[in-house]
Structure formats: C-alpha cells, structure tokens
Copies of this chain bind each other. A is one copy, B any other.
Amino acid sequence: MSDLLERLRDRGWRLTAQRRVVAQVLDGDHVHYTADEIHARAVELLPEISRATVYNTLGELVSLGEVLEVSTDGRAKRYDPNARHAHQHLICEGCGTIRDVHPAGDPLGSLPAAERYGFTISGVEVTYRGLCPDCAKA
C-alpha cells in the first residue's frame, strides 16, 4: 500500500492526512466499499474528514487508474482497489456483496470482428450475478 502512496507522490500528489486515510481504508479488507462506507471507515481514523474529500479523492484515484469504479445496481457506486490485476466480479443480488473471481481465458477474444461495428474495443467487464450462501438460505 505504501507502494500506492509512493506512486501517487511521484505523480505530484500532495500527501495529506485525508488522502493517506482513504488509501489505508481501501487497502484494508479486500472488499468493495461504497463511497459512504469508505467515508465511515475513514472517519474512524480521522474524525474531521469530510464526505466531499472522500469523493474527490476517490475520483482522483479512479482517473489515475489506481482504483476501479463498479456500477453494480444503479445505486451507489462501489470502489475496487484491485485495479492492477485483471479480474471479474461475482455479485450477490441479496446483500450486494461483491467478490473478485478470476476465470480462465480471455473474454476479449470472444467478440468476433464481425460484431464490433467499427468500435475500438478497450476492455470487457464480466459480472456474474447470483445469491451468496447466506442470502440463498434466507
């Protein structure tokens, strides 16, 4: 994670307490938080941090390519700190939990040229939906 702060400083970031805390929260458990959850956890480490700053910081991390934005359901976006390794998502439709999965094969290859309509393809997102064990029980 200090790798992350390192990279950010190299790109001219001012290293503030707020930014450090956001990075720290993202680096913690490897789950996919909403901006609000990140803010809540950041507040525990730095009580004065504001929601706006969390949003700003997340936005910057996204445009720097350090964090991925995941639009799961049209509600709050979730943030995925694992931007540096290709992976896909498994989402529980009950509780909204997201897990990273790493299927074999290159999903990009599955779109034949004839179906590309002249587009320049830059990436694929694959999202599996279902119910996690807990929600399946309920």
> A: which residues have CB within 8 A of B?
69, 71-74, 77, 90, 92-93, 99, 101-105, 107-108, 110-112, 115-133, 136
Main secondary structure of the interface of A (DSSP, over half): mixed
From B77, B120, B127, B131, A125 is in contact (CB under 8 Å) with B127
Is B101 a contact of A118 with CB atoms below 8 Å? no
Inter-chain CA distance A124–B82, complex, in Å, is 21
> Min CB distance, A36 to chain B, in Å?
14
Taking A71-B73, A111-B128, A124-B127 as contacts, is the C-beta distance between A119 and B90 under 8 angstroms?
yes
Inter-chain CA distance A69–B92, complex, in Å, is 17
Is A123 a contact of B119 with CB atoms below 8 Å? no
Is A90 a contact of B116 with CB atoms below 8 Å? yes
Inter-chain CA distance A20–B101, complex, in Å, is 42
Is A111 a contact of B103 with CB atoms below 8 Å? yes
Is B102 a contact of A115 with CB atoms below 8 Å? yes
